[in-house]
Homo-oligomer: A and B are copies of this chain.
């Protein structure tokens, strides 16, 4: 083990989750124990943007009890960003600036917490530091409700979102069938390219209170076929629940809002189309086509921040991922993302696995096509076997007056050098 003394920089990036701060807690609480190696622990304000702007917090100033509460506090407490680094071969301005900041503040440990785009950022920084001969141990800490990171059994953040989605679907199922009239309900779930989250509604079906139809982005979407599917079930029972991913596309690459609406779809800074309105648009369409009562429900931000309904294993594993990044980096490892491998046991258990950042960056893991029925409108038992163990166990989130007690950080800014 080569001892590398210096400071640590941790940043959060991309869309937040219910448990992203549990990873921050893991990094911070573990790092603060190793003052002999890691002298200062910094948290970047708004991820890479905070580094570029030399805006970061001194975590050593925080109350340890509040850092513990980060485990149960949803969303990115340090602030997040969606900043995309250029290819260093084309434009290395940002990289040089990051190197300059790292040198100025003696950053020798850099951990970045995020999904696909963030692991790409992390990988690019790691490679640039290596190329520059600057000794900095870089680790990716995974986070994404989308569950689409390569090489890991699942991603921190997914299990809690899945638990919230399955729970809420069960509740909506009860509600959507109380009247003696027909009812169609469209539940829109997040997920641009991967259907892991939308498929979580299937867990509600396992309990007899889930959707009749599930449409994932892994399968080309056909509006006419969906209408036929809905009409067939409606004719039998008068009640239809549809779970649909915001990201489903026709074989010509059109999203639902583009199919039935005329507005242009906005694009974010990563070039991703800003979707939304799928439930509303589809509900309006089904109302017109069937004459039935239809309700569109968008699970919106709630599905990624409902920490009151977090999965126990999820915040424990998120914490562990952060903690492991620190321990492995101190041991001398670099250029990896922390991942999970599921034990081959009847009881659910996962162990840590390290995946080279190169393998992770920008590779998307999708729901296996064998887990989707051949009609492309439901998910089979294989998905249940995979996902159900992840949502078992309730949160121990502390409450105050019946409401969650979130961490209150002081966020003491480090003086610019």
Contact = CB atoms under 8 A, between A and B. Distances in A.
Copies in the complex: 2
Interface string A67-82: 0000001111101111
Interface string A242-278: 0000000000000000000000000000000000010
A307 B171 contact: yes
Contact of A73 (B174, B176, B280, B403): B174
A143 interface: no
A332 interface: no
Contact of A166 (B203, B306, B403): B403
Interface residues of A, number: 63
Contacts of A163: 402-403
B406 A401 contact: no
B167 A46 contact: no
A16 B175 contact: yes
Nearest to A20: B178
Interface string A286-313: 0000000001011011101111110100
The 5 A-B residue pairs with the shortest CB-CB distance in the complex, in nearest-first order = A75-B174, A392-B402, A175-B305, A391-B402, A171-B305
Interface of A: 12, 16, 18, 45-46, 49, 73-77, 79-82, 163, 166-168, 170-172, 174-180, 203-204, 206-209, 277, 280, 295, 297-298, 300-302, 304-309, 311, 388, 391-394, 399-404, 406, 408
